[in-house]
Amino acid sequence: MTLRTNRGAAKFILLSMITFGIYGLICMMNVGSDLNTIATKHDGKKTMNYILVALLLTPITLGIAMFVWMHKVSARIGSELDQRGIMASFGAKQFWLWCVLGSLILVGPIIFYHKFFKCMNMLAEDYNMSGN
């Protein structure tokens, strides 16, 4: 199975706006699924389905579930990058600094999603080449 390596922040933001968020839901669901394919063998963890988090848990928890999901996924991407020896600085810290605090300067979330998708593309590329 070949994983997608063409994710990008601009595409994610623009198509999410055009489709009223549906593209964003599907894209992030695929990120979680791909991350499970890439990392579960190494860390034994499983990322919860994004649509379940976004549509069911986030309203119940007043938004906290989304922060927890993004924190865990960002940390998992960072640890998988380290485990595979890919030189990229990413983790939960980037989520809190760029996406949460960076929203105060308006461009922070854009920078975060650029880094997020770039790192996911690197992981998927490495997985596609090595097969594990």
Residue 55's identity, in one-letter code, is L
pLDDT in tens, 79-128: 999 999 999 999 999 999 999 999 999 999 999 999 999 999 999 999 99
pLDDT (0 to 100) of residue 25: 97
> In this structure, is residue 109 part of a structural domain?
yes
- What is residue 42's three-state secondary structure? helix
Total count of domains within the chain: 1
> In this structure, is residue 72 part of a structural domain?
yes
pLDDT in tens, 16-34: 999 999 999 999 999 999 9
Q: Say yes or no to pLDDT of 132 above 80.
A: no
CA distances, 23 to each of 1, 30, 103 (Å): 22, 10, 21
Distance CA(30)–CA(45), nearest Å, equals 16
Domain extent at residue 91? 9-130
Q: Considering the entire predicted model, what is its pTM? A: 0.93
Report yes or no: 32 and 48 within 8 Å, Cβ to Cβ.
Answer: yes
Report yes or no: 96 and 112 within 8 Å, Cβ to Cβ.
Answer: no
> In this structure, is residue 56 part of a structural domain?
yes
Distance CA(104)–CA(123), nearest Å, equals 29
> In this structure, is residue 4 part of a structural domain?
no
